[in-house]
Every structure is written in C-alpha cells, then in structure tokens.
C-alpha cells in the first residue's frame, strides 16, 4: 500500500520490494520526480501517463532499481557521479559488476537489456554529497553512501524527517557488496553515517519498507552480519583454501540457491571482498591461489 509523507509517496514493489523489485518514491511538487522506478509496474505506468515527471533519480546503478527508467524518457536524469558511467555505457556497467568476457558475460548482458530494460542514458546532473535537490516545497539532501556501489546515495527530507536508505536496507540478510567495485569498509562507514541522520521515518529499498523510530538496533544487527560472515571465513581458513573452496561453503547465502550461476556470482564476489578485507586487517594472507589465516 502506498504511503504519503508530505509530497513524498512511497510506491512499494511487489513482495515488499523483494528482488528483482524495489520500493520507489514519487515526489509530487512543483517539480515532479521519481526515485528508483523499479517497484510496481502498473503504478509507475499510471504515473508516467498522468503526470509530467521532470526528474528521474537512481540511487545507484543496480538493475533492480532502473528497471522502469524507460517509462520516463523525457525526464532529466540524476545519479551520483561515481555511478554515472554505468548508465552511459553497458560495458562500464558490466565491468563494475565484475563480469569478464565470455558466455556468462553475454548472458548477463542479455538479461540486463531484455529483462531489466537497460538503456544507455547521459545524466543531466551528476550528484555529489551534500547537494540539495529543490522540488518546490520539498528539498532532499544527497548523502553519498558508498560501499554497495561507489556512487550509492541516500536522500534526506528534513521537513518530513524522512530518510530514504536505498540498498542500505537493514534486512536480516545483511549488506550486499559483491560487485567488483564494492567495498566492505565503505559499507560500514556509510551505515554509521546514516545512523547519525536525525530522521524519524526510514524508507528502505527492499523487504523492510518503511521503518519508524530508532533504527540503532536494526543497524547494529545489519552490521553484525558482516562480522559473522567474516568469522566463518577466518575459521574456515584453518587450512589454506582457494576462493572457490570458500565460496562453495555458502557462508553468505547460507545454502545453495537457484539459479546457481546468479547466486554463486554474488557469493564469490562477497567472499572475495572479505578476503581482501581480512588481508588489509592482517588477519589473513595469500599464497598463489590459496588464502590462509595468520
């Protein structure tokens, strides 16, 4: 069910915004805008038909956030400068995901174009941290929260005490940082930064939806998932292990999931980030293709 806060309306995605959907925000003001149009297709189609959408915003470059961008071809497109290249070139997007050339890369490119409607698009505005987006009565502060992607952004509406968290979604699954350009340390810093924002209403892209009140415990539990994954991996490094051997333990997703190729991509990518992070901390080392704890 849609919920409205001043001029901001949350358009929920199917199944509480569960992937491959997300929750979108419509801004009904002097300047009309939509953030992350990958929620309910019918609602977004109606919005496109009945309203003149002036501005289209993506919180970051992931496919489950840009699915219905194409419904708003005449809107000025805003995205953070660090993620902008991924919209300007599908090859840059593929590189950011971490797909090398080959059958797997070709299949994923086809999915992005045919299932998620990817279209190359040049931003009218490349967002920066601290930008104030003025829609009339409504103003949003851009909060750069990298880690999930380099240009991931949250948006704070002070007049409504509302913070759109994007994919820092506070779910029990925990943070996702499986792209080639994702970063665990940045993810942790971004969560801490958002916890300091004096909001009372929090809108997440997935599953949790709208959360009110104090999110301290949710955010702590969300970050604790990172440390739980880390401990499982470091314990498994009691003997030298390859990346593939670690990924086959499914420490991230907890069990094999289908389609296997899709979920193994995420598992492998996040395990690699943990290994890099453990090496940075001096808790692990690498010799050839094997990793071990120190």
Tell me the pLDDT tens digit for each residue of 49-87. Answer: 998 999 999 999 999 999 999 999 999 999 999 999 999
Domain ranges across the chain: 3-213, 229-293
Q: How far apart, in whole angstroms, are the C-alpha atoms of residue 13 and residue 97? A: 23
SS3 label, residue 200: coil
Give the per-residue pLDDT at 1: 78
Model confidence pLDDT, tens digit, residues 172-227: 999 999 999 999 999 999 999 999 999 999 999 999 999 999 999 999 999 999 99
Is 200 in contact with 222 (CB distance < 8 Å)?
no
Among 148, 176, 208, 152, CA closest to 10: 208
Is 159 in contact with 139 (CB distance < 8 Å)?
yes
Give the per-residue pLDDT at 99: 87
Give the per-residue pLDDT at 106: 87
Q: How far apart, in whole angstroms, are the C-alpha atoms of residue 262 and residue 86? A: 20
Percent of the chain past pLDDT 70, that is, above it, reads 99
Residue 135 tokens read as 């829609």
Among 246, 251, 210, 262, CA closest to 229: 251
Q: Which stretch of DSSP H or E encloses residue 85?
A: helix 84-88
Q: How far is CA 17 from CA 52, 138, 182, in A?
A: 25, 25, 22
pTM here? Answer: 0.96
For 229-293, the fitting CATH number among 1.10.1060, 1.25.40, 2.60.40, 1.10.10 is: 1.10.10
Model confidence pLDDT, tens digit, residues 251-268: 999 999 998 988 999 999
Q: Return the biggest CA–CA distance within the chain.
A: 62
Give the per-residue pLDDT at 218: 97
Give the per-residue pLDDT at 11: 98
Cα Rg, the chain, nearest whole Å: 19
Give the per-residue pLDDT at 105: 84
Strands of the 241-242 sheet, one edge to the other: 241-242, 290-293, 284-287
Burial of 84 (0-12, 13-18, 19+ CB in 10 A): buried
Q: How far apart, in whole angstroms, are the C-alpha atoms of residue 109 and residue 30? A: 37
* Mean pLDDT of the 117-145 span: 98
Is 12 in contact with 1 (CB distance < 8 Å)?
yes
DSSP string for 215-266: -HHHHHHHHHHHHHHHHHHHHHTTS-EEHHHHHTT-TTTSS--SSHHHHHHH
CATH, range 3-213: 3.60.15.10
pLDDT greater than 80 at residue 101: no
Query: Residue 22 carries which DSSP code?
Result: -
Model confidence pLDDT, tens digit, residues 273-289: 999 999 999 999 999 99
Percent of the chain past pLDDT 90, that is, above it, reads 95
Give the per-residue pLDDT at 261: 86
Residue 265 tokens read as 């991509």
């Amino acid at each position: 069910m849609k919920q409205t806060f001043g001029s901001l309306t949350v358009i929920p995605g199917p199944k509480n915004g569960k992937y491959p959907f997300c929750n979108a925000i419509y801004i009904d003001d002097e300047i009309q805008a939509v953030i992350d149009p990958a929620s309910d297709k019918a609602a977004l189609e109606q919005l496109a038909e009945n309203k003149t959408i002036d501005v289209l915003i993506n919180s970051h470059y992931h496919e489950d956030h840009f699915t219905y961008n194409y419904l708003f071809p005449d809107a000025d497109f805003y995205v953070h400068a660090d993620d902008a290249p991924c919209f300007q070139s599908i090859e840059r997007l593929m590189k950011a995901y971490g797909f090398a050339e080959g059958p797997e890369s070709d299949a994923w490119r086809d999915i992005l174009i045919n299932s998620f409607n990817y279209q190359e698009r040049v931003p009218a505005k490349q967002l920066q941290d601290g930008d104030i987006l003025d829609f009339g009565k409504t103003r949003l502060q851009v909060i750069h929260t990298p880690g999930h992607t380099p240009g991931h952004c949250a948006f704070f509406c002070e007049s409504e005490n509302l913070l759109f968290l994007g994919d820092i979604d506070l779910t029990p699954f925990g943070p996702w940082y499986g792209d080639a350009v994702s970063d665990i340390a940045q993810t942790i810093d971004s969560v801490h930064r958002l916890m300091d924002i004096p909001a009372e209403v929090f809108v997440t892209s997935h599953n949790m939806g709208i959360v009110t009140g104090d999110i301290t415990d949710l955010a702590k539990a969300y970050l604790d998932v990172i440390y739980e994954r880390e401990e499982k991996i470091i314990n498994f490094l009691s003997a030298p292990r390859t990346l593939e051997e670690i990924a086959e333990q499914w420490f991230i997703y907890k069990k094999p999931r289908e389609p296997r190729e899709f979920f193994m991509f995420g598992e492998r990518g996040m395990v690699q980030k943990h290994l890099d992070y453990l090496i940075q901390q001096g808790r692990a080392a690498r010799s050839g293709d094997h990793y071990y704890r120190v």
